[in-house]
Every structure is written in structure tokens, then in C-alpha cells.
Amino acid sequence: MFTVTKETIVNDVIAQDRMSAECFFEMGMFCVGCPASAGESIEQACMVHGIDADELVRRLNEYFSNAG
């Protein structure tokens, strides 16, 4: 199972499973196609967007635990 942390790079999450982008979208983060996401951690992206990084990490790990 793929495990996400606040240090995980946004693009690494999307590369693991493109459908995981829905977790970002649900939180109001539409930056998954942004060039910055190639080198930005979830924590950094959440800080920029004013999103709770712990909540996003929780949702992503829940998604990956159910995805196959």
C-alpha cells in the first residue's frame, strides 16, 4: 500500500494513482497540474492554499487503503 505523509511530493501521489486527485479537489486544491506540484510537498501545497495538511493526508491514506 502506498502511504502518504506531509512530506510526500504532490506529483508522487498523482503518479501513484491519478484518481487520487479527487482527494485534492474535494479539499479545494486544484493545483495537481501546476508546475510547482512537481517539487512541492503536501505540507507546502496545503500551506499555500490554506488547507489542513493532516486532513488531506488522512483522506489520501484512506483512499489508498481502499484502492486495491
* Mean pLDDT per 10-residue interval, the chain, length 68 residues: 95 94 93 83 95 97 90
pLDDT at 37: 81
Question: What is the structure's pLDDT at 46?
Answer: 95
Residue 50 has what pLDDT? 95
Taking each helix axis from N to C end, the angle separating 53-66 and 42-49, rounded to the nearest 10 degrees, works out to: 130
pLDDT recorded at residue 1: 82
- Cα–Cα distance for residue pair 62/64, rounded to 1 Å: 6
Query: What pTM, to 2 d.p., does this model score?
Result: 0.91
The pLDDT value given to residue 30? 85
Cell of 63: 483512499
